[in-house]
Amino acid sequence: MESPNRVRQVRLQHGLSREDLAEHVGVTRQMIGLIETGKVNPSTSISLRLGKVLNSSVEYLFSTDPVETINAKVVTESDVHQEVSQRVVIGSVMGQNIARPLTFVHPMAQFVAAHGIVPSANPSNRVELYRDVHRTDKTLFISGCDLGLGLLANHISHASRHHQGIWFQASNRAAIEELRRGYTHVAAVHTHLSIEEFKQTLDLPFQVHAMHFSIGQLGWIVSRGNPRGFTSAGDLASGQYTIVNRPAGAGARELLDSELKRYGVPAQDIPGYQSVVRGHIDVAYAVFNGLADVGLAHASAAAQYGLDFLPIRPETCMLVFSPESELDESLQVLQESLQSDSFRQDLAAFGPYDVRATGKTIQ
């Protein structure tokens, strides 16, 4: 009895001949032909080798379910090799299906259940779905660097059986750029400016609406007990402290450069200034593991690792979105989650955060 599979389809996507695949797997060309036509069921060891060579799970290669596909614009990540297949989630942003990869670039999103896969060398932006055709209007993408956004995404997913919130880690500048390009529904940004001043800094082709997320503290993260006695950016002039930095476009990076300028400390003289990590939690991780003595990040990141925190200034985190998105069901679920007592209590405990204005519309 013949057993249908996807081995030939995936082999061709990788640009491999039967001979090539046979050589990598350690079987004959004829055996590959028999497997592809479903005339032979391979052993477990051969199946595992096929999966490894073709960068696919055994379940995917030998599933008998028909492949459902959906057309979507696939967002590419500069840090990800495009020659390998990618797990993706799909959402409808301003009327267009957007497929976003679940990769190490967004560590919290890596463990989200994917909606499908984009095969390698995929020129047509067709996504092969793992399950029945996905309701793309039920997915909400949130981009930003605040750790509380991961909590918000989970509350959205738990508050509604039909909607899913997914957090993608991004600096202020990157989150706004994703909103501008139509890759995300909501951009979360931190600012110490007024909303009027902040809106003037945005480079967007449309007006935006905004809601309060939280107020938190941005400052120095140091080891528990502050054993090296760090006090301010002025201490960095000694060259005795190694720091961990954030990328250009991040609010923490801008504050660090401002503090160095205030104390007259040349950035090039500071050990670790060129050592850049993506998010606040990565800063805390580096300090916790002794990879750096100090870093600038949010108090919530320090709290997750039990580290000491030296505040510099409070910052408001706002959720910014296009007015076109305001009628989306998923955004309404987000607003309901923000305004719920359970979420605000959870966020305050997760922080520390000031949540008295959480969920309120910013005029």
64 against 338, higher pLDDT = 338
User: 68 to each of 8, 104, 126, how far by Cα in Å?
Assistant: 17, 26, 10
Query: Does 54 have pLDDT greater than 90?
Result: no
Antiparallel, parallel or unpaired: β 116-118 and 126-129 = antiparallel
* Domain ranges (residues) in the chain: 7-62, 68-129, 185-363
7-62: CATH number: 1.10.260.40
Confidence (pLDDT) at 120: 65
105 against 330, higher pLDDT = 330
Cα atoms in the Cβ-side hemisphere of radius 13 Å centred on 236: 28
Collapse the DSSP code of 228 into the 3-class scheme (helix H, G, I; strand E, B; otherwise coil) and give the result: coil
Confidence (pLDDT) at 69: 79
The answer to whether 38 and 5 have CB atoms below 8 angstroms apart is yes
129 against 73, higher pLDDT = 73
Q: Which residues contact 280 (CB under 8 A, 6 or more apart)?
A: 145, 146, 147, 246, 252, 297, 298, 300, 301
Query: Does 355 have pLDDT greater than 70?
Result: yes
The answer to whether 316 and 309 have CB atoms below 8 angstroms apart is no
d(CA 210, CA 219): 25
What mean pLDDT is reported for the chain? 87
Confidence (pLDDT) at 81: 47
Summarised one tens digit per residue, pLDDT across range 142-162 is 999 999 999 999 999 888 778
The answer to whether 354 and 214 have CB atoms below 8 angstroms apart is yes
Which pTM value belongs to this model? 0.78
Confidence (pLDDT) at 39: 87
* Least confident interval from 1-5, 224-228, 329-333: 1-5
Proportion of the chain above pLDDT 90, given as a percent = 56
Confidence (pLDDT) at 290: 96
185-363: CATH number: 3.40.190.10
Summarised one tens digit per residue, pLDDT across range 173-210 is 899 999 999 999 999 999 887 767 776 777 666 778 88
Query: Does 284 have pLDDT greater than 90?
Result: yes
Which amino acid makes up residue 208? V
Nearest in space to 101 (alpha carbons), one of 151, 169, 11: 169
User: At which residue do the structure tokens 């390698």 appear?
Assistant: 120
pLDDT range class, residue 221, cuts 50, 70, 90 = very high
Summarised one tens digit per residue, pLDDT across range 91-134 is 999 889 999 998 877 767 777 888 888 876 555 677 878 765 56
